[in-house]
Structure 1
Amino acid sequence: MKLKRYLLVTKPGIIFGNLIATVGGFLLASQGKPDWALLCATMLGLSLVVASGCAINNCIDRDIDSRMSRTRKRVLVTGAMSVRAAMAHGVVLGLLGFACLLAFTNLLTTACVLFGFIIYVGVYSLYMKRNSVYGTLVGSLSGAVPPVAGYVAASGRFDSGAAILLLMFCLWQMPHSYAIAIFRFEDYERANIPVLPVVRGVSAAKRQIVLYILAFAMATMLLVVGGYTGYGYLAVACATSVWWLKMALGGYKAATNDIVWARQVFVFSIVTITALSVMMALDSHAPVLAVL
């Protein structure tokens, strides 16, 4: 049971989601010739750092978590684990993760992951989440780091492909996060977290969801335009983006239940990004242009 607490405080679901994106970015840059040992080292190092960030985030957010029905049973809220133990666990995991990345990948990959860690723990968790409606936007930067880190680990450089991945995953995070904030509206309101639906209303959040999905759809095309992916990826990108947009526009129907609708948008956001990560890996090409 004690080991289970140490696992739960790291939010395994978030780690798994980040790993899918990391593998997608890595195999995209590998162009069909992956270094499997390097991929394993990248996945291990990144997983440890993400686990560290989540553990430390749990320490920071324990007062907020106690007010939200979704999080009130977390181990730091219930007292099943002490803050001191969770913080020590997080620090150790972070040190091991960065050591792994530094030893087996490259300095640029380590720097990318460090950037994401600082944004998530230092900027988002400590300040922006509690104080600004733009916290979601800032948090999206850290959420977009895993595929970029995977790409940079395989390629050894930050080029236009890495920049496209950063843009894609930042844009994806926004409707994904706003959908959560809508169907968890009461939780966020109770915890006094200034997310867009709470501060400016659900209607404003719906508009932003549609606009961000449109922007995301255009960003996904850049991998094809740049020659990084082929027609298989293009077909999946078009199909998922169009369906996601259709689903988002459904939120304007008069009879729409906002909570049910937002859950559907959220679930399909995961389907979309998972499908694109898989297709990036399966349908990668040598790029036409890599200028950055």
Structure 2
Amino acid sequence: MQETLLTGISRQHENVLQVIQSYYQLTKPRIILLLLITTAGGMWIAANGEVSPVLLLVTLFSGACAAGAANTINCFYDRDIDYIMERTRHRPLPSGRIQPRDALIFAITLATLSFTLLAVFANLLSACLAMSGIVFYVLIYTHWLKRHSTLNIVIGGAAGAIPPLVGWAAVTGDLSWAAWVLFAIIFLWTPPHFWALAVLIRDDYAKVGVPMLPVVVGNEPTARQIFYYTLALIPVTLLLVYPLHVMGAVYAGIALLLGGVFVQKAWQLLQTPSDLTVARSVFKYSILYLMFLCAGMGLDSLPITHHVTDVVAANVQTFISSFQA
């Protein structure tokens, strides 16, 4: 199976396994993993910790297909600049291992599969939300914002914030305030996460003319924005505790601990905005932050957690009452 590079050079897959691997790489699986964690978090909270295993698996697989479709189209659209950037030139399209036409067919197939599975096994709302995520990521972020505005990550982050809405809708068939708070958490988390990466690879973005914030305004203003967004993130995560009361003390403690470390790391970057080691630390921690925050949601949602916290609260109340008697 032979493909042609943008430069006219051709590459050839040696076996079927390499073909599968190339298509797998098109989907950007590491990004998909984070999106699926937020989807599962939305489902877990919506179901009060008791999610149907079949619905969970179907929704996560469908979400992976939708995200894979969006990422594949992103690779298709950006194959010109991906060839120039050192970090991305070995991707399947710029390296010539997959033809652009085949990538588009693959993306359409994934999107169709995602919509069909969600519509059949979950509901139409979740299916439409998944498709809206693809459209927003492709048209608003990739086509319009990424190459034309420093707000690309801020506004484009809305696409990455849709998966928890899909998970919530798959369970409940509607979207409550709690679902939109989950959306807001991912929306505010995205700029610190991606801008920290952009600081690390600023030269690559500058080379291809992509106006990421560090390229346009420099590292110091970018570090300041990272710090502000990280600060704003903490009270938003606590909205699930009060006034919405969908999360309890266990989640509140985890959210405060994780948020405190995140703010500390963002503050360190603000003090030394050109220190790439610190920027890398912020970027890596942002991934762990989101994973553990969603794990905290899952832990707090478990029936056994509710039972334990109720027992502890009752004992504390009894202890306090004994002193008041």
TM-score (norm: length of structure 2)? 0.85
Deviation at 1:32, TM superposition (A): 2.4
User: What is the match of residue 162 of structure 2?
Assistant: 145
Identify the match of residue 228 of structure 1 among 237, 240, 246. 246
CA RMSD of aligned residues (A): 1.4
Provide the secondary structure at the position in 2 that maps to 1:78: coil
Greater Rg by CA: 2
Q: Determine if the alignment matches structure 1 residue 63 to structure 2 residue 92.
A: no
Superposition pairs of residues 175-194 of structure 1, within 5 angstroms: 175-194=192-211
Q: Contact conserved, 2:85 with 2:204, CA < 8 A, in 1?
A: yes
Taking the aligned partners of 1:218 and 1:66, their CA distance within structure 2 comes to 41
**Mapped partners of 2:115, 2:155: distance in 1:** 22
Moved over 4 A (4+): none
Q: 1:127 to 1:62 in 2, by over 3 A?
A: same
1:100 to partner: Cα distance:
0.8
Aligned to 2:5: none
List runs of 5+ in structure 2 lacking aligned partners. Answer: 1-17, 304-325
Match of 1:40 in 2: 57
Contact 2:115 2:128 in 1 (8 A): no
Number of aligned residues: 285
User: Do 1:228 and 1:285's aligned partners in 2 also have CA atoms closer than 8 Å?
Assistant: no
- Percent identical pairs in the alignment equals 34
Distance in structure 2 (CA, Å) of the matches to 1:200 and 1:42: 40
Aligned partners of 1:126 and 1:40: how far apart in 2?
A: 31
1:247 aligns with 2:247: no
Give how far 1:91 is off. 0.9
Does the 8 A contact of 1:22 with 1:148 survive in 2? yes
1:271 to 273, 281, 288: 288
- 2:266 partner letter: A
2-side partners of 1:172 and 1:235: how far apart? 18
- 2:106 is matched with which residue? 89
- Output the CA distance in 2 between the equivalents of 1:281 and 1:109: 20
Contact kept, 8 Å, 1:230 with 1:285, in 2: the verdict is no
For residues 21 and 110 of structure 1, the distance between their equivalents in structure 2, rounded to whole angstroms, comes to 16
Query: 2:135 aligned with 1:135, yes or no?
Result: no
Deviations 1:74-120 (A, max 9, x none): 01111111111111111111111111111111121112212211110
| More relative contact order, 1 or 2 (CA 8 Å, 6+ apart) | 1
Equivalent in 255, 260, 273 of residue 237 of structure 1: 255
Aligned with residue 154 of structure 1, among 154, 167, 171: 171
1:69 match: secondary structure: coil
Q: Tell me the residue number matched to 2:184.
A: 167
1:134-153 per-residue CA deviation (whole Å, 9 max, x = no partner) reads: 11112100011111211121
Query: 2 CA distance for matches of 1:107 and 1:96?
Result: 14
1:253 is displaced (CA, Å) by 3.2
Aligned residue in 1 for 2:136: 119
Counterpart of 1:290?
none
SS of residue paired to 1:207: helix
Q: Deviations over 1:241-289 (max 9, x none)?
A: 11110111112335x6521111100111011110011111121289xxx
| Structure 1 residues not aligned, in runs of 5+ | 287-292
* Contact residue 45 and residue 301 of structure 2 kept, 8 A: yes
Distance 1:63 1:102 in 2: 35
- Quote the offset at 1:194 in angstroms: 0.5
Amino acid at match of 2:265: M
SS at match of 2:263: helix
Instruction: Spell out, residue by residue over 1:115-170, the C-alpha distance to the aligned partner (whole angstroms, 9 max, x if none).
Output: 21111011111111011111111210001111121112112211111110011110
Superposition deviation, residue 179 in structure 1:
0.4
**In the aligned structure 1, how far is the partner of 2:275 from the partner of 2:80?**
28
